[in-house]
Amino acid sequence: MTPDDPREDARRRVRQLLLSGDNTIKNRDDDARLARARARFDEARRIAVQAGLDEVLPIIDVRLADLPAAEGDTA
């Protein structure tokens, strides 16, 4: 793999988004923190799918499943 490998770039971005989402949940204490974390996890999933990083999808899906439903969510 070269430093300019698109899959490696995607892998780094996914990792950054997962860490950011995790840190948002742990270190923020406001009502919008879960929505911000969910947006980061959703973006990480989108990037992973586009890059064909199927091996990280279960990791992302666990984080999404573990998030409590946002207030007003019917799903």
> The tokens of 51 are what?
């890059």
Q: What is the pLDDT of residues 18-30, one digit of tens each?
A: 999 999 999 988 8
CA distances 72 to 16, 24, 33, 35, 68, Å, are 29, 21, 15, 12, 11
pTM metric for this prediction? 0.84
Instruction: Quote the tokens at residue 60.
Output: 């992302």
Q: Is 43 exposed, middle or buried (0-12, 13-18, 19+ CB in 10 A)?
A: middle
Name residues of the chain where pLDDT drops below 50. Answer: 74-75
Please state the domain extents for the chain. 29-69
Q: What is the pLDDT at residue 72?
A: 52
